[in-house]
Chain A
Amino acid sequence: DTAVSQTPKYLVTQMGNDKSIKCEQNLGHDTMYWYKQDSKKFLKIMFSYNNKELIINETVPNRFSPKSPDKAHLNLHINSLELGDSAVYFCASSQRGNEKLFFGSGTQLSVL
């Protein structure tokens, strides 16, 4: 069983579209995250949710919105996609107090 799974693995879309990336973890962790791998391969935190509450919200455009229906899921919704949004997005989870991250396999988003 995959611990942290995200779908889709690849997402190709046109500029201006709205898209979502889904993430689910079966580890019983209480915190989930979205990271963006930038052009220099840095992993940059975008959001994290702890017990359904947003606890970190970096300076990302408000076109990006995390949605967490329960503590096992943290989906990423992106409105009005732009060319610069093309990147690999990673979901991760951890248990507060340990913070060791378990990553999903990544979603490669290409905006044309």
Chain B
Amino acid sequence: ILNVEQSPQSLHVQEGDSTNFTCSFPSSNFYALHWYRWETAKSPEALFVMTLNGDEKKKGRISATLNTKEGYSYLYIKGSQPEDSATYLCARLSGSARQLTFGSGTQLTVLP
């Protein structure tokens, strides 16, 4: 994997459903993996910063895991609510240039 890739590109779920999406990234020269939540007409807000293989972070109903050896991270949302509707971005921080490279995001729509 050369770039940061996210899947799916978009997702529609019913209120109350749990969901998850994937971020894949180059595992070489890895420093950190960020998740951001980006609501329409607002600016991205940081959810998690993870650095260690096996890291798990949780914030309310949202959690994330990290596998640096195989180069992927999962974001989970339990019991989705309409206010969870947003684009979820992941970004990989490389060790050398300390540059964040963003994926294209997963656009989540939670239907009431």
User: Which A residues fall within an 8 A CB radius of B?
Assistant: 40-45, 48, 55-56, 90, 96, 98-106
Interface residues of B in 63-112 (CB under 8 A from A): 87, 89, 91, 93, 97-102, 104-105
> Contacts A90-B43, A105-B42, A106-B43: A100 and B49 contacting too (C-beta < 8 A)?
yes
B26 located at the interface, meaning its Cβ lies under 8 Å from any Cβ of chain A in the complex: no
Find out whether the CB atom of B46 lies under 8 angstroms from the CB atom of A102. yes
Which listed residue, A48, A90, A101, touches B34 by the CB 8 Å rule?
A101
A45 to B98, CA, bound (A): 12
Q: Which 10 A-B pairs have the closest CB atoms?
A: A103-B43, A43-B102, A100-B46, A103-B44, A100-B49, A105-B43, A99-B93, A42-B104, A56-B99, A106-B43
The smallest beta-carbon distance between A35 and chain B, in angstroms, is 8
Q: List 5 A-B contacts (CB under 8 A).
A: A40-B104, A43-B102, A96-B98, A101-B36, A103-B45
Q: Are B99 and A45 in contact (CB under 8 A)?
A: yes
Closest partner residue, chain B, to A56 (CB atom): B99
**Chain A min CB distance to B95 (Å):** 11
Establish whether residues B89 and A43, one from each chain, have CB atoms under 8 Å apart when the complex forms: yes
Contact A104-B104, Cβ < 8 Å, known A56-B97, A99-B49, A99-B98: no
Instruction: Return the chain A residue nearest B43 by Cβ.
Output: A103
* CB neighbours of A90 from chain B (8 A): 43-44
